[in-house]
Chain A
Amino acid sequence: SSELTQDPAVSVALGQTARITCQGPSLRSYYASWYQQKPGQAPVLVTFGKYGRPSGIPDRFSGSTSGTTASLTITGTQAEDEADYYCGSLDSSSDRLGVFGGGTKLTVL
């Protein structure tokens, strides 16, 4: 089973702030990365590390971590942000294997 836990669904009003969380013991050691996946498409990296955001990703997407909980915040959520969001990291074993959360379906109302 995955070591990263996400809420299955989050809803947000258009233009408001959405917050999606990811919990897991390995997040004390490694930052989470966040991926946006729209239907029929490959995941896209939206945030990584402490403050990282790939080029081309709007600055309304930001990541943060507190203890064993990582958060993806979308400020001023747009209709096109409706998607599934997955957190990813390394697990807490000595082998440092890749791991993903279960995903959160973001609905923009």
Chain B
Amino acid sequence: QVQLQQWGPGLLKPSETLSLTCAVSGGSFSGYYWNWIRQPPGKRLEWIGEVSQSGSVKYNPSLKSRLNISLDMSKNQFSLSLRSMTAADTAMYYCARSTIVLNLEYSFDYWGQGTLVTVSS
């Protein structure tokens, strides 16, 4: 059974950098995409970005200038780095695996448990 276990700090000050890591167990990196998704309190899910097995990345344009997502296959982990955090970045952050089949079916089939990140001075 695939499991995603994530960790990182829960409290940051404005202007600091958020670093989160997600460890993958029970499955292969091959053929999948590895995503970060966030959800501000009481609000909708927001896709942050993804990294593929080859290291190719795609980012949400609204976060692209502050964002880096990377993959460490030797450790079965992928990571998020989001710079210059503000109160608007306060949210639950999730890691998730996505798959696309026949270029038609796209879904996030496994999710991490979530990390609540609060940005406050």
Contact = CB atoms under 8 A, between A and B. Distances in A.
Counting chain B CB atoms within 10 Å of each CB, which of A29, A35, A88 scores highest? A88
Given A43-B45, A97-B47, A48 B98 contact: no
Contacts of A49: 101, 104-105, 107
B44 A2 contact: yes
B67 to A, nearest CB: 13
Contacts of A21: none
Nearest to B46: A100
A42 B44 contact: no
B108 interface: yes
A25 B101 CA distance: 19
Interface string B83-121: 000000000001000101100111111011110000000
Contacts, number: 75
Nearest to A89: B106
B21 interface: no
Nearest to A103: B44
Interface in A45-90: 45, 48-50, 52, 54, 86, 88-90
State which size class the interface on A falls in: 20 to 34
Contacts of A35: 45, 108
B44 A48 contact: no
A101 B45 CA distance: 8
Counting chain A CB atoms within 10 Å of each CB, which of B47, B61, B113 scores highest? B47
A24 interface: no
Interface string B53-93: 00000101100000000000000000000000000000000
Interface of B: 35, 37, 44-47, 50, 58, 60-61, 94, 98, 100-101, 104-109, 111-114
Interface of A: 2, 29-31, 33, 35, 42-45, 48-50, 52, 54, 86, 88-90, 95-103
14 contacts: A31-B106, A33-B106, A42-B94, A43-B108, A43-B111, A45-B107, A45-B108, A45-B109, A49-B104, A49-B105, A86-B45, A97-B61, A98-B47, A100-B45
Given A48-B109, A88-B107, A98-B98, 7 more contacts: A29-B104, A30-B104, A33-B106, A33-B107, A43-B45, A50-B105, A88-B108
